[in-house]
Amino acid sequence: EFAQMFRRFGAKVTVIEAGAHIASHEDDDISDCMVEILREDGIGILTNTKAVRVSGSDGDVVLDVETAGEAKSLRGTHLLVATGRTPNTDALKLERVGVMVDDRGYIKVSERLETGVDGIWAIGDVKGGPAFTHISYDDFRILRANLLEGGTRTTKDRVLPYCMFIDPELGRVGMSEKEAKEAGRDVRVAVMPAKRVARANEMAETRGMWKAIVDRQSGEILGAAILGVNGGEVVTQIQLAMMGGLKYTALREGMFIHPALAEGMNVLFDSFRD
């Protein structure tokens, strides 16, 4: 997101990635499509690249890297280091009351968000996991239901959506293909280029791809990735189907407004690899 933003501000931008793919939590084909889009925007991307040393002064930063077995120096005015987050739990002195944290400092909780100490719960980023505002808000709903309404809600099996707000967006929900196979699921994979969506063509926004993961036996939708215009909005519609227990055939055969982006779900769920 920041790379594309600063590129559109007019800066020259290079992304340095230590792994083989950017956005390593995504499937390789989604990541490769993202790289193609970002490179079309003029962003340099170096994968399998190790940052070795930073030198220079204000306005003149030199980054030495190792890439493809050779040393290389990149010069620029600014360096953004994106290496994750550290929870600020040290100052809370949690050990005094017996609240446990893991080796990274995140508070350990149960599926009901209990810390193990009576009367103390933890929600949001401080308990680890994906750091999204909507997860924190859903954590609040769990506590509200259980503490004030006598409920039994937990974090188990909740469907996790998120969106990477590049242009076009990457909306994702549920399992990736990689995650589903690692979980031992027998899956079918539906995939198509975004240019097959009529609305995307009308908007002249055809970059990207749509992908969905379906259980082969039951027809259950396990997850989806929509890399395309308004991808976050489209994937939310698939999320609603997953929450309602609809099989993929309901979206393949459903009647959606023409030429809304939702109509693309008819095409997607009729575009399996096998």
pLDDT tens digits along 179-231: 999 999 999 999 999 999 999 999 999 999 999 999 999 999 999 999 999 99
CA-based nearest residue to 128, from 82, 86, 173, 174: 86
Q: What's residue 130's pLDDT?
A: 87
CB of 179 within 8 A of CB of 223? yes
Q: What is the pLDDT of residue 108?
A: 97
pLDDT mean over 20-28: 95
- Enzyme catalytic residues: 258
pLDDT for res 84? 83
pLDDT of residue 141: 97
Q: Give percent of the chain above pLDDT 70.
A: 100
Confidence of residue 83 (pLDDT cuts 50, 70, 90): confident
Structure tokens at 135: 């997860």
Examine the pLDDT at 74 and tell me if it is beyond 90: yes
CA dist., res. 185 & res. 237, Å (int):
23
Q: Note the pLDDT tens digit of each residue in 95-118.
A: 999 999 999 999 999 999 999 999
Q: What is the structure's pLDDT at 58?
A: 80
Residue 227's nearest CA partner among 189, 195, 253, 254 is: 195
Q: From residue 52, how far is each of 46, 79, 144, 189 by CA, in Å?
A: 14, 14, 48, 39
pLDDT in tens, 27-64: 999 999 999 999 999 999 999 999 999 999 888 999 99
pTM flag (> 0.85): yes
- Cα separation, 38 vs 15, whole angstroms: 10
